[in-house]
Chain A
């Protein structure tokens, strides 16, 4: 007992020292607990417990061992704590299990001794003890060496304290801290990375780490194939590396819970038939509980995770896991979105970089935020030189200065947004050039709503697409010039140009069309060109129109076009058809030339040519006839003379006289003929001159008639005269000639009846009429009777020994006097030749003759 008391007292000191040490420990814990406020209460409790120990030593279990580790001392406190009495315990080997920090193994007693000796102050450890009734207790054991008087180590003294409650509190606390940390870890994993792969790896790692996991697996659901595949794994190496087959939705544990989106937990996984495939390794690894949870967002399945834990999973842990599932789901969703975004952003970036259009982004103040390479080359500024500068550097007229200052870029230029506008760009070298600009607003997604949203939302950025259209403008300009040029030609051409739709409807006309047709363009457009212009559908015209409308239209088809006033214009028409790729007629351009005048000229020329031919023929006939006429009297003269030149063989007297008469007659006729020819050629050559003088018409007519008295008597034709006594001024010789020719004509064709000459005055004219009762003239004869040589080949002419020039000469002479001559006659009814002469030739009529030719 002494020893015991000694021991006790001595131990008390030691205990106090120990307590002191515990205090240090406590303060250490206190320091530690600063971070964990919750722990403070527990620490206070512990402090109170220690006080208790001081006041009631029996509450402290004290046990001592000898050098070999056999229990030599076991106090009441120890009995209270563990249920074993001193009797039961003394003599039994008691090995203090010491868990040394940084060591995984339990020490041997030698090691413990050595350890305690080295640590002179003794050591404190927390060990799990089993009570006599089988309860597990957490005991905090403070071990110190026991020395005898000589200072030889004789054993170990252990002071124990039941810290099970504290330990539980601590564990609960640590679990909470751990769960909090876990949540934070998951959050960090999700926030820290945008890669789905990394996020899942970290989540699996955290699951394993915070839940005493041997293995944590995350499955990802592939909706297209309706399978789940392990996507991330953390835990013991061999399990992590094990290949896990993909699981169809609805089959297997994972497939089922994923389909039903239900959580699954078991604390006897090695007996759970649904985990039979995992039994072997779980048993080996000592898996205590299994937990799996689906991953979904808004009911949309994303996958599931599994946790194989060595520890039981408390409700708090389960709750934490469940909420972690939500976080992981969010993380997956976000990472996926981000990856998708990243992908599309990458694509967009590549598009921007490679776009041929210049792309410029700028903010509402006009400050350039980016330019792509195309924009760099268009404007000549590198992106470095242009970013931060104002957009007006590149596009000076884009917006108003005032709008820009207010940050209301384009507020007055809304029309520029969303469509292509032609503007002027300015290059670095100062040259201006045309651009196509299209501006769009980029509304950036807002993370938070600002309460001041009553302001109309302004886009954060504008995106301008710029295309250098210098070349195109140049081309357009050239095209326009070309078009203008063509249009001008069409406008000014004297040719008719019409555009027609396939059915012949007039689409456009040029001014020449209006001029020729007399219609205004407005009257023609919309009407059928062919029907309006060529209504007279004669057989020929129908055929011509068919040729024009055919696929290979005939060219320069002559058509008769009806003008608005109903006149006919002749046009030479050509069509050009335009067909589409299928060979359907698209439009017809018609070209016409008004050849009416040309036609007239042609006609006139033709007539003139015919006349000239006729005239030539007549001239040639005339020459033949003249030749004939001259030869005829010569034949008589030369034919008879040989009869008179042979002195030895002369005809008898009467015959000679007859021959002489014939020759005389022929000679006279020849002279007459020559006179007429000379007169006529003089008149024709305008060499004949008139010598006007005043004379009495009556006297003149009587003189002429006296020359015909013989023939009149011979033919038994009386000559009636009705002559007004007039004095006229004319060339009397030529007037005589006219009358002579007319009378000669009258006597030639008249065998019965009479010849009548009448002269009257009508105004300033003297009217002469020579009437006979002869054979008369047909209408055809009347038409040509005054033409020269017309009668030359008539036998009747011969009978009257005419030259065929008499009437032609008479006509010319009348006209030279400024008068007119005409004839009224019909066959068998005789003829009436009438001519008039001005009373005074010198009063200007002479000039009239010249102009009349």
Chain B
């Protein structure tokens, strides 16, 4: 069982992701802003971060940069409806674990699992 931090400002999306991950047997903690996400990362043992990109005040990329300073060992996957190739490249080159485009598909749990397995080894 892994602990997954979801940073997502859209409530229904957050709920949806939580349902899916919980169903797959993961422990989920939610943050609706980048700042609260960083706080949660600091105060919790997290195995994976799922990061939205379009958020007010601090977007997903900026939050990711900050989180790397806090816990660089925690893998972070971006999951966003904003699929911009520049962003994908930037995120991966900065050390992002995966980049998933909304809406999430049937393979969502599988991809999460892959990241977790990779980071374990």
| Chain A residues with a Cβ under 8 A of chain B | 624, 627-640, 642-643, 649, 651, 655, 659, 662, 665-666, 793-796, 798
Q: How far is the CB of B23 from chain A (nearest CB, A)?
A: 6
B-chain residues with CB within 8 Å of residue A632 when the two chains form the complex: 10, 13, 81, 102
A-chain residues with CB within 8 Å of residue B108 when the two chains form the complex: 639
| Docked CA distance A798–B11 (Å) | 9
Given A635, A643, A659, A793, which contacts B13 in the complex, CB threshold below 8 Å?
Answer: A635
Closest 9 CB pairs of A and B: A631-B81, A795-B56, A639-B16, A635-B103, A628-B81, A635-B102, A638-B103, A636-B12, A634-B103
Contact indicator B56/A794 (Cβ below 8 Å): yes
A-chain residues with CB within 8 Å of residue B106 when the two chains form the complex: 642
| Docked CA distance A643–B104 (Å) | 13
Given A628-B54, A794-B56, do A640 and B16 touch, yes or no (CB 8 Å)?
A: yes
Decide if B84 is an interface residue (CB 8 Å cutoff). Answer: yes
B-chain residues with CB within 8 Å of residue A640 when the two chains form the complex: 16, 19
Decide if B20 is an interface residue (CB 8 Å cutoff). Answer: yes
A-chain residues with CB within 8 Å of residue B82 when the two chains form the complex: 624, 627-628
| Docked CA distance A666–B16 (Å) | 11
Contact indicator B103/A631 (Cβ below 8 Å): yes
Contact indicator B20/A639 (Cβ below 8 Å): yes
Instruction: Determine the main DSSP class of B at the interface with A.
Output: loop
Decide if B55 is an interface residue (CB 8 Å cutoff). Answer: yes
Q: How far is the CB of A129 from chain B (nearest CB, A)?
A: 167
Closest chain A residue to B82, Cβ basis: A628
B contact residues, total (Cβ < 8 Å): 26
A-chain residues with CB within 8 Å of residue B102 when the two chains form the complex: 631-632, 634-635
| Docked CA distance A637–B19 (Å) | 13
| Docked CA distance A627–B103 (Å) | 11
Q: How far is the CB of B65 from chain A (nearest CB, A)?
A: 19
Number of A-B contacts (CB under 8 A): 73
Given contacts A793-B54, A794-B56, 8 further A-B contacts (CB under 8 A): A631-B102, A632-B10, A632-B13, A635-B10, A636-B13, A638-B104, A639-B104, A640-B16
Contact indicator B55/A662 (Cβ below 8 Å): no
| Docked CA distance A466–B109 (Å) | 118
A-chain residues with CB within 8 Å of residue B101 when the two chains form the complex: 631
Q: How far is the CB of B54 from chain A (nearest CB, A)?
A: 6
| Docked CA distance A649–B24 (Å) | 11
Decide if B46 is an interface residue (CB 8 Å cutoff). Answer: no
Decide if B66 is an interface residue (CB 8 Å cutoff). Answer: no
Contact indicator A798/B10 (Cβ below 8 Å): yes
Decide if B98 is an interface residue (CB 8 Å cutoff). Answer: no
Closest chain B residue to A797, Cβ basis: B56
Closest chain A residue to B53, Cβ basis: A628
Closest chain B residue to A666, Cβ basis: B12
Contact indicator A795/B9 (Cβ below 8 Å): yes
Given A795-B9, A796-B56, do A635 and B19 touch, yes or no (CB 8 Å)?
A: no
| Docked CA distance A624–B15 (Å) | 23
Closest chain A residue to B101, Cβ basis: A631
Contact indicator B16/A624 (Cβ below 8 Å): no
Decide if B17 is an interface residue (CB 8 Å cutoff). Answer: yes
A-chain residues with CB within 8 Å of residue B54 when the two chains form the complex: 628, 793
Q: How far is the CB of A677 from chain B (nearest CB, A)?
A: 16
| Docked CA distance A659–B20 (Å) | 11
B-chain residues with CB within 8 Å of residue A662 when the two chains form the complex: 12, 15-16
B-chain residues with CB within 8 Å of residue A796 when the two chains form the complex: 56
Closest chain B residue to A646, Cβ basis: B23
| Docked CA distance A637–B15 (Å) | 11
**14 A-B pairs, CB-CB below 8 angstroms?**
A628-B80, A628-B81, A628-B82, A631-B101, A635-B10, A639-B17, A639-B108, A640-B19, A642-B106, A643-B23, A662-B15, A793-B54, A795-B55, A796-B56
Q: How far is the CB of B96 from chain A (nearest CB, A)?
A: 19
Closest chain B residue to A634, Cβ basis: B103
Beta-carbon contacts of B77-90 to A below 8 Å, as 1s and 0s? 00011111000000
| Docked CA distance A567–B17 (Å) | 66
Contact indicator A627/B56 (Cβ below 8 Å): no
| Docked CA distance A86–B81 (Å) | 195
B13, B20, B101: residue with the most chain A Cβ atoms closer than 10 Å: B13
| Docked CA distance A649–B83 (Å) | 32
A-chain residues with CB within 8 Å of residue B56 when the two chains form the complex: 793-796
A624, A631, A651: residue with the most chain B Cβ atoms closer than 10 Å: A631
Q: How far is the CB of B15 from chain A (nearest CB, A)?
A: 6
User: Which positions 68-118 of chain B face chain A at CB distance < 8 Å?
Assistant: 80-84, 101-106, 108
| Docked CA distance A642–B20 (Å) | 9
Closest chain A residue to B83, Cβ basis: A627
| Docked CA distance A295–B47 (Å) | 150
Contact indicator A639/B103 (Cβ below 8 Å): yes
Q: How far is the CB of A798 from chain B (nearest CB, A)?
A: 6
B-chain residues with CB within 8 Å of residue A665 when the two chains form the complex: 12
Q: How far is the CB of B20 from chain A (nearest CB, A)?
A: 6
B-chain residues with CB within 8 Å of residue A634 when the two chains form the complex: 102-103
| Docked CA distance A796–B56 (Å) | 8
Q: How far is the CB of A619 from chain B (nearest CB, A)?
A: 15
User: Which positions 16-67 of chain B face chain A at CB distance < 8 Å?
Assistant: 16-17, 19-20, 23, 54-57
| Docked CA distance A659–B12 (Å) | 10
A-chain residues with CB within 8 Å of residue B23 when the two chains form the complex: 643, 649, 651
Closest chain A residue to B13, Cβ basis: A635
A-chain residues with CB within 8 Å of residue B10 when the two chains form the complex: 632, 635-636, 798
Q: How far is the CB of A382 from chain B (nearest CB, A)?
A: 102
| Docked CA distance A632–B53 (Å) | 12
| Docked CA distance A818–B15 (Å) | 45
A-chain residues with CB within 8 Å of residue B83 when the two chains form the complex: 627
| Docked CA distance A794–B54 (Å) | 9
Q: How far is the CB of A280 from chain B (nearest CB, A)?
A: 141
Given A627, A630, A636, A793, which contacts B16 in the complex, CB threshold below 8 Å?
Answer: A636
B-chain residues with CB within 8 Å of residue A666 when the two chains form the complex: 12
| Docked CA distance A633–B105 (Å) | 14
| Docked CA distance A637–B103 (Å) | 9
| Docked CA distance A795–B57 (Å) | 9
| Docked CA distance A793–B82 (Å) | 11
| Docked CA distance A634–B101 (Å) | 12
Q: How far is the CB of B41 from chain A (nearest CB, A)?
A: 20
Contact indicator A798/B81 (Cβ below 8 Å): no
A-chain residues with CB within 8 Å of residue B80 when the two chains form the complex: 628
Closest chain B residue to A645, Cβ basis: B106
| Docked CA distance A655–B22 (Å) | 13
Contact indicator B81/A659 (Cβ below 8 Å): no
Contact indicator B84/A635 (Cβ below 8 Å): no
Contact indicator A639/B55 (Cβ below 8 Å): no
